[in-house]
Structure 1
Amino acid sequence: PGDGTVDIVVSDTGGGIPSSALPHIFERFYVVDPARARGPSGTGLGLSIVKHIIEAHGGTVEAKSELGTGATFRCRLVAAG
């Protein structure tokens, strides 16, 4: 973004994440209502691990989503050098 940081942005076009779940998705073992899943549900560890790794490197991670339009995840890290 021009401020000495690097953004990694991942977006999807899935069903989205309910606004009530967004504050919790980076918590260990948190799983959004399994009844909404199209396939096998996860363990609730993936986003927690992402947050831990990004923060261990001095970065931040955030998620934005609207039901029916998918989700966008942004990891911001300090650029090397």
Structure 2
Amino acid sequence: MNGDVCQISVEDNGIGFNIQYLDRIFKPFERLHGREEYEGSGMGLAICRRIVERHSGAITATSTPGEGSTFIVSLPIHQSKGDS
């Protein structure tokens, strides 16, 4: 936790991705690889982003191709007035 924000990091040792595609990986149905190579619908990170943003937070990632990725979720500790 850092002041008014809680950060949660999830790290994997998967295939990673080129950071130039950072904005693209959070869009619905976006895939950096074909279905023949890796399973998935391209919705997982888009759903994560939507959930985090509905809680007034943010999600981002860092990655190195061939080494894995770290996904960072930042959420406010206190709920804003008007949020439910």
TM-score calculated relative to the size of structure 2: 0.82
The alignment's C-alpha RMSD in Å is 1.9
Moved over 3 A (4+): none
Q: Which runs of 5+ in 2 are unaligned?
A: 80-84
Given candidates 66, 70, 79, the residue that maps to 1:72 is: 70
Tell me by how many angstroms 1:36 deviates. Answer: 8.1
How far apart are the structure 1 equivalents of 2:65 and 2:2?
A: 31
Q: Which residue of 1 aligns with 2:43?
A: 45
TM-score calculated relative to the size of structure 1: 0.84
- SS of 1:21's partner is helix
Please, which moves more after superposition, 10-19 or 42-51? 10-19
**Identity across matched positions, percent:** 32
Please, which moves more after superposition, 56-65 or 10-19? 10-19
Query: Match for 2:33: what amino acid?
Result: D
Q: Which residue of 1 aligns with 2:25?
A: 25
- SS of 2:19's partner is coil
